[in-house]
Structure 1
Amino acid sequence: MQSRKPQKIDLNTDYPCPCRRQGRLIPIVLTDAMGCDRCQKIFVVEENGYAIEQLATNYPHKQTWRWVGNRWITAQSYLKQSYLPIALGAIVILLFVWLPSALHVPSGANFLIWAMIAVIVAIIPAFIHWLTYRR
């Protein structure tokens, strides 16, 4: 079994593209960056030298990979680590605050509307998570 310990990235070594295409990362002269010969994406080596980050202006948060000797693994981002507690907190607030207050509405039709809104709002974080981290 291969080690998952990150290795320091050498700018003079040839690496496969982390975007899972058949491209190769080629060092860009006079910079700490590498470019893919296939997908034309540019990657910058982070200061510690153990990870690369994709330069992209249209992505909401950084995509970072670490080299483990034979392949790239995705580095955990802060958003991904903090997303689950935020989503669970939103669901708890909906279940214990908003839904009981909707139960006190006198009309049955209003309760159904409030319950549907609560369910939709509870599903939105899961949908956003799926859109953000799908491959």
Structure 2
Amino acid sequence: MSEVKSGLRYTEEHEWAESAGGNLVRIGITDFAQSQLGDIVFVEFPEVGAAVQAGQPMGTIESVKTVSDLFSPVSGTVTKVNEALLDSPEAVNEQPYGTGWMIEVEVDGDAAAALEQLWDEERYRAYVDSNS
């Protein structure tokens, strides 16, 4: 069974988001997503300074099985990317909620309000359970 971490917010596309302080939101993919993809071999995300829009593609993730779009759960400006994933994309498989995070975004408007629009852990867990 896939881990659904408490305290995070989730999307239907299997991204997670959490407050990183102030108006910053840290984003990654869920344990369910990485397990469905298989061994991650490459991650492409937007550059620092790029604008991202909630629900829109912000990059790609490539596994030995497929290439999938990454969708931004919030709108804002990319302030940080996890450059360690360029050399060690397998960190997404090993720790999707830890060292496998992908980007940080400075949210347009109120970060707490943007996160509140996303699914809580119970709703996401029910969604994953119904699709497993």
Which one scores higher on RCO, CA 8 angstroms, separation ≥ 6?
2
Using the size of structure 2 for normalisation, the TM-score is 0.28
Larger radius of gyration: 1
